[in-house]
Amino acid sequence: MFTLPPLPFAPEALEPHIDTQTMQIHHGKHHQAYVDNLNKLLPDKTEADLVNILANIESLPEGIRQGVKNHGGGHANHSLFWSLLSPTPSIPSPSLLSSITSTFGGLDAFKEQFTTKAMSVFGSGWTFLVKKPDGTLALKRHSFQNSPLMQGNTPLLALDVWEHAYYLKYQNRRAEYITAFWNVVNWSEVSRLFELSS
């Protein structure tokens, strides 16, 4: 049984950057639907199995593989996304900042490159900062709900750029949504995931 994790903050906590109604619908309806559909596809599996299922997605029977990509990926991506948002300002840890700087040329340069990547997602998808198996950082653009775990990468930062993530407040103005996102990134959690994967 897979379950919807509670939001780690009140739905209105990210105002004005991410609005209350978007948070309520995104978490309570969209994420809940991924969880419900995943439970129909894998009724005997539990939350503890999710990472392994996604990491070995190609070993699933063909009849359910795409469904699990969509709904298992959707469940994992959204659970991660909520944990990476916070109303409390924070900064990257020294070791994460050092790695970001050596890879992207500094935190501001990283934000610019991440933003460019997120702007270039065509249709529904995500942008991720990942740590690759060789320990290096990289920016990734994923369509639909494909998870970095399916490629053997560890996601450290995620941004949902499906229209359901921003359309109520920002309509077609994805760039404004991305600018607002930087105000609510939980760098403490990104740093924790980075240390954990080291």
Of 13 and 25, CB closest to Mn ion: 25
Q: Does 189 bind Mn ion (CB under 5 A)?
A: no
Pick from 160, 153, 158, 159: which is nearest to 197 by CA? 153
Shortest Å distance, C-beta 190 to Mn ion:
19
Amino acid at 57: I
Q: Which of residues 27-66 bind Mn ion (CB under 5 A)?
A: none
Q: How far is the CB of 114 from Mn ion (least distance, A)?
A: 17
We find the least distance from the C-beta atom of residue 162 to Mn ion, in angstroms, to be 5
Smallest gap from residue 102 Cβ to Mn ion (A): 31
In angstroms, the CA 186 to CA 148 distance is 19
Smaller CB distance to Mn ion: residue 100 or 180?
A: 180
CA distance 130 to 147: 10
- The distance of closest approach from Cβ of residue 118 to Mn ion in the complex, given in angstroms and rounded to an integer, is 13
- Residue 44: alpha-carbon gap to chain centroid: 25
Q: For residue 128, with 0-12 CB atoms within 10 Å meaning exposed, 13-18 middle and 19 or more buried, which class applies? A: buried
How many Å apart are CA 114 and CA 178, to the nearest integer? 9
- In the complex, which residue's CB is closest to Mn ion? 160
Confirm if 117 and 160 have CB atoms less than 8 A apart.
no
Query: Smaller CB distance to Mn ion: residue 78 or 117?
Result: 78
Of 11, 142, 160, 194, the one binding Mn ion by CB under 5 A: 160
Nearer to Mn ion, 31 or 96 (CB): 31
Assess contact for 38 and 2: CB atoms under 8 A.
yes
174, 180 Cβ separation under 8 angstroms: no
Size of the site for Mn ion (CB under 5 A): 3
Residues lying near Mn ion in the complex (CB under 5 A): 160, 162, 165
